[in-house]
Amino acid sequence: MTQSTGLFITFEGGEGVGKSTQIHRLADVLRRRGHDVLVTREPGGSLGAEAVRHVLLSGAAEEFGVRMEAMLFAAARSDHIEQVIRPAVAEGTIVLCDRFMDSSRVYQGITGNLEPQFIQNLERIAVNGMIPDLTLVLDLPASVGLGRAKAREGKDAAPDRFEKEEVSTHEKRREAFLDLTRTEPERCKLIDATQAEDLVALAILAEVDSLLHEGTTDEPAKGQKA
Ligand code: TYD
């Protein structure tokens, strides 16, 4: 029995699609099977990136423009990768990350109207080769997702920097995430998040299982039963 290989799996989608619920469900299943699992999120996930998170989500950076925000997301991402994600995957951990580079492509690139070349250059520098093995794109109509996000946060809570934008902007993001599943079908898998929570969890597990069983990755990990 050789040591199992680490994996890097990201979850993407609009507001309120249920990423964090599903990440924790998947983490539980994988841990029960004996895998080492790390759950993390962006912006944040490392000391340096958490310091930048507040600046971005409070809207403090908004007045300085989308380029500035995109560079801050990239700086946070770089710290998160080098301090947390890359070392964990190298040690054999399955890293589950709530949002990653595709959120920058969609939020800053598509709905922020930044030039594709600028976003690509930032991504290349920040990601530094740490491309996810699998990206699960949870899809839901924007209005449904925004309603869920609002219910989760409490109806009187102020929406954050990105939630507060128009429904049409959120719909554009939904389309951009869907496009990713068409342009990068090997990495980006579409998950219908309108289904019941249990069915969404099963669909996600099916994608993760097909990744775990392909190639040279050894399953079950650490000699335990799957
Ligand atoms: P967060 O409160 O973590 O929530 P959620 O992922 O549940 O929506 O908010 C993160 C926000 O930051 C979200 O509105 C998407 C946005 N974002 C970007 O605009 N670009 C990025 O690269 C990332 C990682 C997030």
User: What does the H/E/C string look like for the chain?
Assistant: CCCCCCEEEEEEECCCCCHHHHHHHHHHHHHHCCCCEEEEECCCCCHHHHHHHHHHHCCCCHHHCHHHHHHHHHHHHHHHHHHHHHHHHHCCCEEEEECCHHHHHHHHHHCCCCCHHHHHHHHHHHHCCCCCCEEEEEECCHHHHHHHHHHHHCCCCCCCCCCCCCHHHHHHHHHHHHHHHHHCCCCEEEEECCCCHHHHHHHHHHHHHHHHHCCCCCCCHHHCCC
User: pLDDT at residue 73 above 70?
Assistant: yes
In order of their start, the domains of the chain are 7-212 (3.40.50.300)
β-partners of residue 137 are 12, 190
Ligand 1 atom nearest residue 112's Cα: 19
Confidence band for 4, pLDDT divided at 50, 70 and 90: low
- pLDDT at 119 (0 to 100): 98
Q: With 70 as the cut, is the pLDDT of residue 172 above it?
A: yes
Q: Which two tokens stand for residue 118?
A: 């600028």
Please work out whether the CB of residue 170 comes within 6 Å of at least one atom of ligand 1: no
Q: How many CB atoms lie within 10 A of CB 112?
A: 17
Which residue's alpha carbon is nearest to atom 17 within ligand 1?
103
pLDDT at 76: 98
Contact 177 CB / ligand 1 (< 6 Å): no
Query: What's the pLDDT at 226?
Result: 36
Instruction: Give 83-95 pLDDT, tens digit per residue.
Output: 999 999 999 999 9
Q: At what angle do helices 116-127 and 66-80 cross, to 10 degrees?
A: 20
State if residue 11 touches ligand 1 by the CB under 6 angstroms criterion.
no
pLDDT tops 90 at residue 221: no
By CB atoms closer than 10 A (0-12, 13-18, 19+), residue 2 is: exposed
Question: Mean of the pLDDT values across residues 212-216?
Answer: 72
The terminus-to-terminus CA distance of the chain in angstroms comes to 14
Cα–ligand 1 centroid distance for 163 (angstroms): 9
Cα–Cα distance measured from residue 210 to residue 164, given in angstroms and rounded to the nearest whole number: 37
Q: How many Å apart are CA 185 and CA 137, to the nearest integer? A: 11
Please tell me the predicted confidence (pLDDT) of residue 215: 53
12 lines ligand 1 (CB under 6 A): no
Ligand 1 center from residue 57 Cα (angstroms) = 8
Instruction: Report pLDDT digits (tens) over 35-58.
Output: 999 999 999 999 999 999 999 999
pLDDT given at position 157: 87
Ligand 1 atom index nearest CA of 98 = 6
- Determine what percent of the chain is predicted with pLDDT higher than 90: 85
pLDDT band, residue 156 (cuts 50/70/90): confident
Residue 220 has pLDDT above 60, yes or no: no
- Percent of the chain having pLDDT more than 70? 93
Q: Whose CA is nearest to atom 4 of ligand 1?
A: 15
- Whether 217 shows a pLDDT value over 50: the answer reads no
- Please state the atom number of ligand 1 nearest to the C-alpha of residue 104: 22
CA-to-CA separations, 132 to 55, 106, 112, 155, in angstroms, rounded:
26, 16, 23, 35
